[in-house]
Structure 1
Amino acid sequence: MIEELLHLARREEVDENAVTDVELVLENVEQELLLLYPYVQFKRDVIGQKKLASITEQAAGQIFRNIMSNGIRYNDKEQKIQLSIHYTELAIMVTIRDNGIGISEKHLPFIFDRFYRVDEARSNHIGGTGLGLSISKMLAEKYRIEIDVKSSVNNGTSFILKFPLK
């Protein structure tokens, strides 16, 4: 199954004509995750005039799902996910912020590596394959999405995604 996931991510053909409403995709992923994790509190802020991103709905959904799922699973508090969408003239900025356990600075450079697990002791009871962020990074590179990550141990993690406009 792991090899199939990697193969699918690698095989994802870039659709140069793809246009996606990232706000709608985020909303759909949020609803999907609420079915699995009904206790999670989501908050969404939107700034600016809606624009469309140059990415498929499937690829955007996979990226959002992987990041948001990690924010829920790697959290030992009351789970909160803050979603911010900022439409600018040049791009769409999406920030996904959780209040989870965070990632230490020494681990941040490796979080997109396949099978990388920040802390095996914590990760064993949480599950997962260590592939979600690797797949997200692969898809982001294919669609020229810039990803920045900021994190603080015990204070959560923020993923800032810069989507090119269609």
Structure 2
Amino acid sequence: MNTFRDFYNNEVKLTFEDHYFSKEPKHVWVICRYNNKWLLTRHKDRGMEFPGGKVEEGETAQQAAVREVKEETGGVINWIVYVGQYYVAGKGGTVIKNVYYAIVNELVDQPTYFETHGPVLLEKVPDNVRHNAKFSFIMKDDVLTHCMKKIKKIYSTEK
């Protein structure tokens, strides 16, 4: 279990155990690759981040992850795997979020990308994300750091 503070100083607990906090979390976050690049989206208010969002009524967290990637980037997922789950004790309540790693095999142009400006491809996620105003607060805590290390170790991504 990794425990730390997020961008807003809320306590965060991250685990790579299978659905440790909830079997049915209400939020997802998907770390994506497309053509050997990292696939992010540019949120209209928050900046660049990996796609994610809320699990809708009647769908599983994994189905929500696939849908969110498609809605926010136009990405069609070829392969997806559960990475971990984190719990945020925030001022407005708690959030439990599944983290997935996905390989996207196609980007489809869409008339809308919902609350985002669409896909962003990066060769490398910068080391200084925490201090870069172009990135969302979601990218600025140790969830990203720990998950990227886990993904790189298990799936040997190059960047």
| TM-score normalised to structure 2 length | 0.34
Q: Report the structure, 1 or 2, having the larger helix content.
A: 1
Q: Quick one: higher RCO (CA 8 Å, sep 6+), 1 or 2?
A: 2
Q: Report the structure, 1 or 2, having the larger strand content.
A: 2
User: Who wins on radius of gyration, i.e. which is larger?
Assistant: 1
